[in-house]
């Protein structure tokens, strides 16, 4: 049922389908494995902002770029738990915490562990994104009860070197392997609209679909062009390079078909999408969103806007467990 032997030719054939046929097939796959009217609500908090030594071309938090973002210290545990409580009250099922690090330092691990334990005690799913992890760090997070670890592949293996030069694609895969071996579920995706070609988008979906185990959550981001970042400046000056809504939905649909039991999450860039574009994404199998007013350092649609959209589309917040995690138990 869950294939990890997809070929690029097969993924390319999905992208080449007439748009309505692709969305129809993705909707069929979605309904075969998941409730079509449920969308998981997640909240993302930046627990350590700015000053990252990586040079990812899309990121305002890189110390290499002139985005004007001020570096901040790791938040205190109580402030994080307060934000988690607000997220739960607003209906979020999962609370995600992100730190602008290449990898966590040992001196920070006790606070990170305390955050995981505190958020989990509230009855929320916990997710962390802290950069690269070695085997020991992954085990420490697993022992604290971490449910998910986010580490994105960003794009295709071929395009990746145009996104960052401070780590390799294999570095990404090594962290995912360490997380898997520690028994933590994986959240992994990438960014659409970084100047890549369709072939790169095909390669990106193929890379996800051929991991040893599909990610339990697949994040699909639309690049938010931020002045002062290489990719942000490039796309701000050449807006025609951005990916249109139809192509973005194609990525969502192909990911749904190739990873049928994964949660497909609309992440960054959703605040600039029309309601119609978001509705097409949900039709194509997206069933998870980040809600709230902010994603790390960029804006987001907000709880009230999401509630209004859900009411208009007849969607409801997901309350049960994700299919892949249920199947693994």
Phi, psi of 19 (to 5 degrees): -55, -45
Phi, psi of 277 (to 5 degrees): -65, -40
Is 96 noted as a catalytic residue in this protein? yes
Cα–Cα distance measured from residue 200 to residue 155, given in angstroms and rounded to the nearest whole number: 7
Q: Which two tokens stand for residue 226?
A: 């931020």
User: Which of 25, 42, 94, 127 does the annotation list as catalytic?
Assistant: 127
- Confirm or deny that 188 is annotated as ligand binding: no
> Of 142, 125, 129, 218, nearest to 180 (Cα)?
142
**Coil, strand or helix: which one is 142?**
helix
Q: Which helix (H) or strand (E) holds 39?
A: strand 38-48
User: Which of 25, 94, 201, 265 does the annotation list as catalytic?
Assistant: 265
269, 244 contact by CB (below 8 A)? no
User: Which of 25, 42, 94, 96 does the annotation list as catalytic?
Assistant: 96
Other CB atoms closer than 10 Å to residue 219's CB: what's the count?
Answer: 24
83, 116 contact by CB (below 8 A)? no
- Confirm or deny that 56 is annotated as ligand binding: yes
Cα–Cα distance measured from residue 184 to residue 141, given in angstroms and rounded to the nearest whole number: 8
60, 98 contact by CB (below 8 A)? no
User: Which of 187, 188, 259, 281 does the annotation list as catalytic?
Assistant: 187
Is 56 noted as a catalytic residue in this protein? yes
> Of 159, 152, 190, nearest to 173 (Cα)?
152
Is 259 noted as a catalytic residue in this protein? no
Is 59 noted as a catalytic residue in this protein? yes
Is 52 noted as a catalytic residue in this protein? yes
- Confirm or deny that 265 is annotated as ligand binding: yes
- Confirm or deny that 259 is annotated as ligand binding: no
Is 42 noted as a catalytic residue in this protein? no
Cα–Cα distance measured from residue 313 to residue 276, given in angstroms and rounded to the nearest whole number: 10
- Confirm or deny that 59 is annotated as ligand binding: yes
- Confirm or deny that 187 is annotated as ligand binding: yes
User: Which of 42, 52, 259, 281 does the annotation list as catalytic?
Assistant: 52
- Confirm or deny that 96 is annotated as ligand binding: yes
Which residues lie below 8 Å from residue 197, measured CB to CB, with a gap of 6+? 159
> Of 287, 305, 317, 294, nearest to 44 (Cα)?
294
User: Which of 25, 42, 59, 259 does the annotation list as catalytic?
Assistant: 59
Q: Which two tokens stand for residue 200?
A: 């790169």
Give catalytic residue positions: 52, 56, 59, 96, 127, 187, 265
Annotated binding-site members for [2Fe-2S] cluster: 96, 127, 187, 265
Annotated binding-site residue numbers: 52, 56, 59, 96, 127, 187, 265
Known binding-site residues for [4Fe-4S] cluster equal 52, 56, 59
């Amino acid at each position: 049922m869950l294939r990890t032997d997809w070929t690029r030719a097969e993924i390319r054939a999905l992208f080449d389908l007439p748009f309505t046929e692709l969305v129809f097939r993705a909707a069929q796959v979605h309904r075969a494995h998941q409730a079509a009217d449920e969308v998981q609500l997640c909240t993302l908090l930046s627990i350590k902002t700015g000053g990252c030594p990586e040079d990812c071309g899309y990121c305002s938090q890189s110390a290499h770029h002139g985005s004007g973002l001020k570096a901040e210290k790791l938040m205190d545990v109580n402030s994080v738990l307060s934000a988690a409580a607000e997220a739960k009250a607003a209906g979020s099922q999962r609370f995600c915490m992100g730190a602008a690090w290449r990898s966590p330092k040992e001196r920070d691990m006790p606070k990170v562990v305390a955050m995981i334990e505190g958020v989990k005690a509230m009855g929320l799913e916990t997710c962390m994104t802290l950069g690269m992890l070695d085997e020991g760090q992954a085990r420490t997070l697993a022992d604290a009860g971490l449910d998910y670890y986010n580490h994105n592949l960003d794009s295709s293996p071929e395009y990746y070197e145009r996104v960052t030069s401070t780590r390799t694609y294999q570095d990404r895969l090594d962290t995912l392997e360490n997380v898997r071996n520690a028994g933590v579920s994986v959240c992994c995706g990438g960014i659409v609209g970084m100047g890549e070609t369709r072939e790169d988008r095909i390669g990106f979906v193929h890379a996800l679909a051929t991991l040893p185990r599909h990610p339990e959550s697949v994040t699909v981001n639309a690049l938010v062009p931020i002045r002062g970042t290489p990719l942000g400046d490039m796309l701000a000056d050449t807006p025609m390079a951005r990916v249109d809504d139809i192509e973005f939905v194609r990525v969502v649909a192909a990911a749904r078909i190739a990873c049928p039991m994964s949660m497909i999450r609309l992440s960054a860039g959703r605040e600039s999408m029309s309601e119609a574009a978001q509705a097409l994404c949900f039709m194509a199998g997206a069933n998870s969103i980040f809600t709230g007013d902010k994603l790390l350092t960029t804006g987001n649609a907000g709880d009230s806007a999401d509630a209004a959209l859900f009411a208009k589309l007849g969607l409801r917040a997901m309350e049960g467990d994700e299919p892949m995690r249920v199947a693994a138990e």
